[in-house]
Amino acid sequence: MNLYDLIIVGAGPAGITAGVYAARKRMHFLMIATDIGGQASLSWDIENYLGYQFITGPELVQKFKEHLSQFDVELREGERATSVEKAAAIVRIKTDKGEYTAQTVIVASGRRPRKLGVQGEDELKNRGVTYCATCDAPLFAGMDVAVIGGGNAALDATLQLTKIAKKIYLIEVKPQLTADSVMIEKATASGKIIFYTDTKIKRIYGEQLVQGIEIIKGDKMEDLSVGGIFVEIGSTPAADFITDVKKNERGEILVNCSCETNIPGIFAAGDVTNVPAKQIIVACGEGAKAAIVAFDYLNRTGYPPERRMYKNS
């Protein structure tokens, strides 16, 4: 079996950046990812990524892909990691399509959307219930829709929908919205949004497609007739496939400032970790750090000198 210097699990901002750095270090590495771009591809208005006053998530991910394509990278797209285990000095990664070994691994698998957990959600998933406004908003042109959540992700989805939907109900279980003030101001100014705070979701209903949603505000239940429901209540770390590393109470992989886990040779970067700021630019920096530290680890543990890059930059 081919022994890689490094395997990177995930190809979001952290994983792609780690890949670019690993390529520049001339490491023999493999990237495994279910998709390219991760949650960054779901964002719409990105106004805080250095070098761009404004860029959409899909556009930024395309820039990342173009940068990565400048290198000869072995990428297994559409492949899902199912386990990561270390025995002696070798890390073994199993996927739904194969098995690989490496001296080091960077887990950069990101996060997955959190579900509401209410009646009708699973039954009507992809039939009006969606977790990606960037992907699915155009399907609901001219319709009344609901966005569930009050953070930046929910407001981002809402702002996208103001250009497409007829009316938008923004529903948040907390007493106040938690998104950035500038996003709330933009949403309010649109005139298309009806805000519901301190409101719970009872159920989603419909025959073949979503027809409406029942909500509870105080002691009063309301029925909102909508054709689409965008669930934007946060996410959970996609780290269930790796069980030996230490995690916090939220399931995030615990790392130090060098992206090291409790297992030597296994590193983690980006939103899958306990690093507090879940931002694209932070994930990129963490991915760069992880690749540099993995390279240094290989040097310390017998990395072949002939593969080292002449300019260490």
Query: 17-63 pLDDT, tens per residue?
Result: 999 999 999 999 999 999 999 888 877 668 888 999 888 888 999 99
The closest alpha carbon to 307, from 22, 84, 8, 16, belongs to: 22
User: What's the pLDDT tens digit per position in 86-120?
Assistant: 998 899 999 999 999 999 999 999 998 899 999 99
Name the least confident of 39-48, 190-199, 239-248, 266-275. Answer: 39-48
The closest alpha carbon to 114, from 274, 233, 270, 34, belongs to: 233
The pTM assigned to this predicted structure is 0.80
Beta strands in 65-166 (DSSP E): 74-77, 81-87, 90-95, 99-107, 111-113, 129-130, 144-148
Q: Residue 256: which pLDDT band, with cuts at 50, 70 and 90?
A: very high
Confidence (pLDDT) at 167: 96
Write the DSSP symbol of residue 307: G
Residue reference for tokens 């407001």: 155
User: Can you tell me the mean pLDDT for 264-273?
Assistant: 97
Its CATH class, for the domain covering 129-231, is alpha beta
The closest alpha carbon to 167, from 234, 228, 214, 220, belongs to: 228
Contact (Cβ atoms closer than 8 angstroms) between residue 107 and residue 242: yes
User: What's the pLDDT tens digit per position in 52-76?
Assistant: 988 888 899 999 999 999 999 999 9
Give just the sign of the alpha carbon dihedral 219, 204, 180, 193: negative
- Between β-strands 129-130 and 228-231, what pairing exists: parallel, antiparallel or unpaired? parallel
The closest alpha carbon to 4, from 244, 312, 310, 304, belongs to: 304
Structure tokens at 313: 């930059």
Choose the catalytic residue: 35, 72, 122, 132.
Answer: 132
Residues near 310 by Cβ (< 8 Å), separated by ≥ 6? none
Q: Residue 212: which pLDDT band, with cuts at 50, 70 and 90?
A: very high
Contacts 24+ apart (CB under 8 A), 215-221: 215/171
- Residue type for position 258: S
Contact (Cβ atoms closer than 8 angstroms) between residue 177 and residue 197: yes
Residue 275 half-sphere exposure toward CB, CA atoms < 13 A: 30
Confidence (pLDDT) at 310: 35
Confidence (pLDDT) at 247: 98
**Catalytic-residue membership of 135:** yes
Residues near 136 by Cβ (< 8 Å), separated by ≥ 6? 130, 228, 230
The fold of the 3-113+235-307 domain, in CATH, is FAD/NAD(P)-binding domain (3.50.50)
% the chain with pLDDT above 70? 96
Domains 3-113+235-307 and 129-231 share a fold: yes
Gap between the Cα atoms of 53 and 47, Å rounded: 5
Helix or strand or coil: residue 113? Answer: strand
Q: Residue 311: which pLDDT band, with cuts at 50, 70 and 90?
A: very low
Choose the catalytic residue: 35, 136, 180, 240.
Answer: 136
Domain spans, the chain: 3-113+235-307, 129-231
Gap between the Cα atoms of 81 and 169, Å rounded: 37
Choose the catalytic residue: 135, 198, 223, 244.
Answer: 135
Confidence (pLDDT) at 309: 42
Name the least confident of 145-159, 176-190, 252-266, 292-306. Answer: 292-306
